[in-house]
Amino acid sequence: MNESTLYVVATPIGNLGDITLRALEVLKSVDVIAAEDTRHTSGLLTHFGITKKLIAVHEHNERQSAQVLLSRLRAGESIALVTDAGTPGISDPGAIVVDVLREEGVKVVPVPGASAVITALSASGITEDGFSFVGFLPASGSQRRKRLVACKSLAHTLVFYEAPHRIVQCVADMSSVLGGERRITIARELTKTFETFHRCALRDAEAWLESDPNQQRGEFVLLVEAAPVKAEAAISEDAEQTLKVLLAELPLKQAVKLAATITEAKKNDLYELALQLKD
């Protein structure tokens, strides 16, 4: 391992067989491992026969922990940063640590691997280009709906994480705010024994979840299709109003030509509208 280097290491999101050979080599070789939950990470290390000193770095102590890690890194140690599952900093602790250490000039090396958002997208069958990763929505119903309103018009797939105790209300709010006709793919317990993918209209998602309490268990990735593309009006309201004013004073062809110049609307569209207005 390089001295004074932070390795951001992705760990399995469920199936321990998904850990990479490189991740195992890094975890074996670094001086210390910074973990979201030391007890959880101890289980992972024990499974692979790794013994290593652990430092807790969780959501509520990231800035303080960053200073502890900085001191160790400046002393020449190498450190691996992990979360309970998946990639640090992706709706998991780690981003603040990386930000602080980069600002201090520390070398940061990613060790890629499992990520729930990419795992869900790869098996969803969604063909739209691009996606917005929203992560976890607020726990408060009013704040959750407010965030959904902000996402409503985005023209690409929306990806959310959700916990089991909020999943039913979450999809109900999605249907209400985003529109029940949109399709949702519910990905549950990815890479685990009871992995489930279910695709339906948002209006039907709540009923599907409530029909089987088992489908409300585990961790969720929700993929909601993009906002429908609205057909642009052939002629804007401003162009139509301009044409009306000109038609009141000028012959039809002259009014159309001038309106097209002023508004940059298509001349043929304006001509068709002018004929309708004259009639």
Task: Report the number of distinct structural domains present in the chain.
Answer: 3
Domain annotation covers residue 229: no
Domain annotation covers residue 57: yes
Domain annotation covers residue 200: yes
- The residue whose two tokens read 């691009």 is 130
Domain annotation covers residue 144: yes
pLDDT in tens, 186-239: 999 999 999 999 999 999 999 999 999 999 999 999 999 998 876 555 688 888
34 & 94 share domain: yes
Following CA atoms 200, 202, 203, 205 in sequence, which dihedral angle do they give, to the nearest 10 degrees?
Answer: 60
84 & 12 share domain: yes
Within the chain, which residues score under 50 in pLDDT? Answer: none
C-beta of residue 191 within 8 angstroms of C-beta of residue 114: yes
What span, in angstroms and rounded, lies between the C-alpha atoms of 113 and 129? 22
205 & 123 share domain: yes
pLDDT of amino acid 40? 96
Residue 123 is given by DSSP the state T
11 & 83 share domain: yes
| 54 burial via Cβ count (<10 Å: 0-12, 13-18, 19+) | middle
C-beta of residue 201 within 8 angstroms of C-beta of residue 207: no
The residue segments making up the domain with residue 205 are 117-224
Domain annotation covers residue 127: yes
pLDDT of amino acid 113? 97
List, in sequence order, the alpha helices (H) in 78-138: 95-103, 116-122
131 & 77 share domain: no
Give every CB contact of residue 57 below 8 A, 6+ residues apart in sequence. Answer: 34, 35, 36, 65, 66, 69, 81, 93, 94, 97
66 & 143 share domain: no
Q: Which of 204, 271, 270 is nearest to 240 (CA)?
A: 270
What is the CATH classification number for the domain harbouring 122?
3.30.950.10
pLDDT of amino acid 237? 86
What is the CATH classification number for the domain harbouring 34?
3.40.1010.10
88 & 102 share domain: yes
Strands 157-162 and 220-224: antiparallel
